[in-house]
Amino acid sequence: MGTSRTRVTGLIRWLAVGLAAVLAGLPGGAWGQSEVRVGVLHSLSGTMAISEVTVKNATLLAIDEINARGGVLGHKIVPVVEDGASDPATFAQKAQKLLQQDGVVTVFGGWTSASRKAMLPVFERFKNLLWYPVQFEGNECSPNIMYSGAQPNQQILPALDWAFERGLKKIFLVGSDYVFPRTANLILKHHIQNRGGTVAGEEYVPLGGTDFSSVVNKIKAANPQVVFNTINGDSNVAFFKQMAAAGLPPTTLPVMSFSIAEQEAKAIGPRLLVGSYAAWNYFQSLPLPANARFVAAYDRKYGDGAAITDPMVHGYVDVYAWKAAAEKAGSFAPEAVRKAAVALPWMETPMGKVRFDTTQSLYQTAYVGALQATGQFKILWQSRGPIKPEPYDPLTFPGKTCRL
C-alpha cells in the first residue's frame, strides 16, 4: 500500500512540474498569471560565502531593475534564494528543490567547479538552464549551462602572456584541491613548458584549509619569479598572512591570483595584498559609462563603498541576458531561451561589449590589474578586444570540441 501511495504521489508531482513548465513557456502566462520564478543559488554560508554573497546581491539588483521597468514578457520576476552552503552536495539538493518544488524557470548561481559539476546532472535531468557566472577550467560543454565566466583562454592564459612579457617565466602553482585549480594548472603547465618556461612547483590545500606552512616552505625553497594562485575562498587570508610572515609579501614575490577580486581584497585587507596581481574580465575601476551606472546602482542598494567584482558583474549581466533571450524567444521555456541566447547581438554591459557564442560561452575582454592600498585594482594590461571562448584548450585537450 505504501509503495502505491508513493507512486501516486510521484506521478502527481511529475504532472505538476510538467504543467508548470508548459505554462512557463506561454508568453502571457495562464489564468492571468503575472509572476515568473527564478532561482538564485549561492553559498551564503561556509568558506565560499566571502565571494558568493555579493554575487547573489548583484543578481537581485538586476532583478529589481528589470521589475521596475515592467519585468519580462509582462511578468514580475520573483527570485527564490537558496544557500548552497559551500558544499557541492547541498548545491545539487537545492537545485533540485528549485526546479522540482519551487517551479523556477531558470537558475542563476554557483561558484566552484565542484558545485557546478554537482548541479549539472540535475539540470540535465530536468532539462532546465543554469547561468554560471564564474571563471572556470573549461573542459566542459553542456546545453543546460550558460557559461558566462571566463574560459582558460580568457583569464589564466592572458595572465601567462602578461607574465612572460615581463620575463616572469619561473612559476610556482598553488591552489585549492578541487577540479578548477587542478585543471587550470594542468593547462598552465602545458603552456608554460611549451613557451620555454619552468614550473617551479605545484601544491594544493583542501578547500577551506588554513595551514600553508609546508606550501610556503616549498615556495621559499623553489625561489620562483611569480606565484600563480588558484586558492579559493577565505583560505586566501591564511595563505597571504603566512607568506608575509615568511618574508614573502607580494611586494617581494609577485602573486597572480585568479579568485581574488575587490570583495576578497576588502575582506582579507588590502595592505596584506598590496602589490599582488589579478586577472579578470572586469575590474571596478573600468572607466566605462555603463560601469559607472552599475556601481552607483549597487551602492544605492547595498551601501556606499561596496566592492564590486568580476563574478558580481557576470551575475548581473546573466539576468539581463536571460531577459533578452526570453523576450527574443517569446517564452520562458529553457530550450527556447537557450537557443535565443546564443543568437543575441552584442550587449553593452559594465564590463564592455559581450555576447554568447554557439558554445553558450561569452566573448569577453581580459584584464590584468595590480591591487592598490585603496582596495581597487589599477589596470595594467588588457587584450586587444573581446576574446572568443575556447571551452577545450587545444594544447591540453587536442581534438576535443564543443558541439551543442
Residues 195 and 307 in one domain: no
Residues 352 and 277 in one domain: no
- Vertex 268, ends 265 and 273: CA angle to 5°? 60
Mean pLDDT of 184-202: 97
Residues 82 and 22 in one domain: yes
Alpha helices per DSSP H over 39-178? 49-68, 88-100, 113-126, 156-165
- In a domain? residue 63: yes
> Does the pLDDT of residue 31 top 60, yes or no?
no
Residues 85 and 195 in one domain: no
Name which of 116, 55, 51, 46 is nearest 260 in CA terms.
51
Instruction: Give the Cβ contact number of residue 345 at 10 Å.
Output: 8
- Vertex 122, ends 121 and 127: CA angle to 5°? 95
Quote the pLDDT of residue 1. 39
Residues 60 and 165 in one domain: no
- At 12, the pLDDT band (50, 70, 90 cuts) reads very low
**In angstroms, rounded to a whole number, what is the distance separating the alpha carbons of residues 158 and 146?**
22
Residues 140 and 159 in one domain: no
Amino acid at 2: G
Number of residues written out for the chain: 404
- In a domain? residue 401: no
> Does the pLDDT of residue 28 top 50, yes or no?
no
Please give the torsion angle defined by the CA atoms of residues 146, 149, 154 and 159, in that order, rounded to the nearest 10 degrees: -160
Residue 257 φ then ψ, to 5°: -105, 150
Residues 115 and 52 in one domain: yes
Residues 342 and 373 in one domain: no
CB 174, CB 145: distance < 8 Å = no
Residues 332 and 243 in one domain: no
> Does the pLDDT of residue 174 top 90, yes or no?
yes
Domain CATH for 228: 3.40.50.2300
- At 403, the pLDDT band (50, 70, 90 cuts) reads confident
The share of the chain scoring above pLDDT 70, in percent, equals 92
Residues 260 and 300 in one domain: no
- In a domain? residue 119: yes
Residues 47 and 117 in one domain: yes
Mean pLDDT of 19-37: 53
| Structural domains of the chain, count | 2
- In a domain? residue 353: yes
**Tens-place pLDDT, residues 206-260:** 988 999 999 999 999 999 999 999 998 889 999 999 999 999 999 999 999 998 9
- In a domain? residue 394: no
The rounded mean pLDDT for the chain is 91
Residue 172 φ then ψ, to 5°: -100, 130
**In angstroms, rounded to a whole number, what is the distance separating the alpha carbons of residues 362 and 149?**
7
Quote the pLDDT of residue 33. 52
Mean pLDDT of 78-91: 98
The share of the chain scoring above pLDDT 90, in percent, equals 84
Quote the pLDDT of residue 131. 98
Mean pLDDT of 141-167: 97
The domain of 19 spans 2-150+293-363
